[in-house]
Structure 1
Amino acid sequence: MNISNSRRIVIKIGSALIAPDQDGCRARYLLTIAQFIVRCRAMGKEVVLVSSGSVAAGSHLFPEDAKNSSVVLKKAMAAAGQTEMMATWDRFFDFPSAQILLTHGDLRDLERYNSIRETVFTLLEHGILPIINENDAVTTDELKVGDNDNLSAMVAAAADADVLLMCSDVDGLYDKNPNLHEDASLIPQVSEISEDIYAMAGCATSQVGTGGMKTKIEAAEKATSHGISTYIVNGFKESTFEKLLAGENPGTVFLPYDEPMHAQQHWMTHTASEQGEIIVEHGYAEDLKDHAEPLAAENISHVQGEFSVGDTVLVRTEKGERLAKATTNYSSCLLNFLAEQEQTSDNGHLQESIGPVISGQDIAMLEKS
């Protein structure tokens, strides 16, 4: 899969491209990217834009000594900068665009996640460019994704994209940090994301972005497991976009899984956050390693955290081995009650009277590292 034969593309743009001098939005790099989007659409491709930069775009509206101070001020910068950023993008296009602001809380709730999908699909159907950003003005530590690399991968999965482009300030993934080693070599293609690939990821080189190469690898892992070809490319070079339109690879491409994960399992594995943990007995843990198996109450050793019916939980062993993420049919309150009554004579009857704590189809197995 490359740009020339793709159907739907998600493009992620970082803060350094939006506001390279942190004094408001600049067209220096954005004009080339906007022209690329226009040309993609002219070729019949649907485009979704994930655009960072609201804090960087709005910081110049506040006193210089406030830029590195409180979280509250940064939220205010994001609120002010978001309008400037949207206005900048809108100036480049002769077609309509739409703003979607998200938190991880929106993505990890299945009902809201599906609502986001419907909104994106409807916008694309009507020829409107969705521009998506994390809602930095209101998000909290608990609800934030934290970086737009991973957000772009979640959006690409939600949008059923076939290509994800992450624009960086380097040409792609190198075998060592190119800023420190003159003999660093660009890796044009990655067929499998292993620990060795993660070891090559260095820190962010941009002064205004929050994502480094590691978050891009994480995002690539999320996207490729959904069957999405993922590129890391240099967004500062005009030649990057000319090569992409010609069907060439100007950076690093991560090949998609031959057998992508089912959409529900992908959401549970890579987007939903576990609200608690269910620790299972050894016998069930061994069975689960082979295939998804419904979890009965009597197979539970104990639970940790507080969760409700329908929440995503982590299933693990007593030794801490992560086995799966799953949707629970019962709350932590009830499961704790069953655990506390374990020694009573009527507990077995109570356990047998309830259905599976986790159904087999609601389990997403976790890959072993």
Structure 2
Amino acid sequence: MSISKLSDLADPEITPRLVFKIGSALLFGRGGVADREWLAGLVWEIADARERGQQVIVVCSGAVALGAAKLGFEKGGRGSLADAQASAAVGQIELAGLWSQLLGAHGITAAQILLTLDDLEGRRRYLNVSATLGRLLKAGAVPVVNENDSVATDGIRFGDNDRLAARVAQAGKADAIVLFSDVDGLYDRNPAEEGAQLLRVVEGVTEAEHAMASGSSGSGMGSGGMTTKLRAVEIAERAGISLTIVNGTHRRPFGKAIDSDTGTLFLPKRRDTGRKAWLGGRMRMKGHLVVDTGCAKALTSGSSLLASGITAVEGEFTRGDPVGIKDQDGRALAKGLAEYDSFEILRIMGTRSEDQAMLLGYSPRSAVVHRDQLVLL
């Protein structure tokens, strides 16, 4: 059985493992005070899901807002990097305590996991995260995950918890993600416009859906809008994970969405292997390879990337590093793991395999990026 409608998310036979993502705007007022009543209602829903036989992972924002209020920092703790990191350090303890207390009232153990981008970008660390999540769930705990903003900087952070939730869902082998938002879901235009229609079910994300999305966050507290949610959908669907956007402003919002059948359910059109799903969800590449038109066409047909089709190398990287592949117009085509160092590819790009041994000083490998280590975008 697979997910086909919103009510399936409450069925443990179809959706045994869920990720709930909660943003700052829902959990906190502008003064940085947690809405305990709202969160207590959501915790009831987590307890109900567990009673049905479902496992739940929580991805929760709000540490910076909570810590800034406690420290008396202006601009919600976002005035400087140092303010944000200090706010997060204080807020993480407060937030973990809040979850521990509310879940504990239901006899549920809360577990805190703080992640940086590197924890999910590196394959070995990603697998460690996966193992930890699996063990916690097996032990009956509810993992509460947040980005570790006390050490993360602009260059090494997710930037929004929508994409973090998608990556955590991949690592946690979840069946579905619920993104609680301040709107009912994805509309075909700005929901404030007359005649705007809610999209109930979307199979895969195309340019048409991206064109409908707004990149702004209406609350002023969140770090992204509908655009980041669609990017999260693209990450999730690589692992065959469904994602739904529902209105989180209600008390007990999950049940409200299920009962009213209101939200946007994104159904995956693909299911990559575990390694390819991880690679496709990576946010940072070590470099890029530019390919000609013939090569771009061959890649879309399932071929490996050969040196003969490469026209340029961007960045410095070593064998095994993740690289992006794009066409002559700069359009992203694929991601993959390089079989050569960047300086070696510069030597052999545009050449055929019979000429590469002399240029390299050793027998060439079968491809610059093998199709088994390549994922199309």
Residues 246-257 of structure 1 aligned to structure 2 (within 5 Å): 249-257=261-269
Aligned-pair CA distance for 1:284: 3.3
Match of 2:346 in 1: 336
Residues 107-186 of structure 1 aligned to structure 2 (within 5 Å): 107-178=120-191, 180-186=192-198
Change (3 A) 1:287 1:30: same
Change (3 A) 1:287 1:141: same
- Counterpart contact for 1:18–1:57, Cα < 8 Å: no
Contiguous gaps of at least 5 residues in structure 1: none
Change (3 A) 1:305 1:33: same
Moved more, 309-318 or 281-290: 281-290
CA distance in 2, matches of 1:210, 1:65: 17
Residues 59-74 of structure 1 aligned to structure 2 (within 5 Å): 59-65=68-74, 67=76, 68-74=78-84
Match of 2:31 among 6, 17, 22: 22
Instruction: Give me the TM-score of the superposition, normalised by structure 1.
Output: 0.89
- Counterpart contact for 1:315–1:323, Cα < 8 Å: yes
Aligned-pair CA distance for 1:87: 0.5
Change (3 A) 1:256 1:336: closer
Instruction: Give me the TM-score of the superposition, normalised by structure 2.
Output: 0.88
Aligned-pair CA distance for 1:326: 0.7
CA distance in 2, matches of 1:230, 1:82: 26
Moved more, 99-108 or 39-48: 99-108
CA distance in 1, matches of 2:204, 2:349: 42
Change (3 A) 1:328 1:34: same
Match of 1:58 in 2: 67
- Counterpart contact for 1:172–1:252, Cα < 8 Å: yes
Change (3 A) 1:281 1:235: closer
Match of 1:316 in 2: 326
Aligned-pair CA distance for 1:254: 1.3
The aligned amino acid for 1:221 is E
Match of 2:290 in 1: 279
Moved more, 25-34 or 259-268: 259-268
CA distance in 2, matches of 1:3, 1:62: 39
Aligned-pair CA distance for 1:38: 0.6
What SS does the aligned partner of 2:158 have? coil
Match of 2:113 in 1: 100
Match of 1:189 among 196, 201, 211: 201
CA distance in 1, matches of 2:151, 2:232: 23
Change (3 A) 1:171 1:305: same
What SS does the aligned partner of 1:142 have? helix
The aligned amino acid for 2:315 is G
What SS does the aligned partner of 1:238 have? coil
Match of 1:349 in 2: 358
Change (3 A) 1:338 1:292: closer
What SS does the aligned partner of 2:155 have? coil
Question: Percent identity between the aligned chains?
Answer: 36
Match of 2:372 in 1: 361
Q: What do the CA deviations read for 1:160-197 (whole angstroms, capped 9, x no partner)?
A: 1111100011121222323x325433222222422222
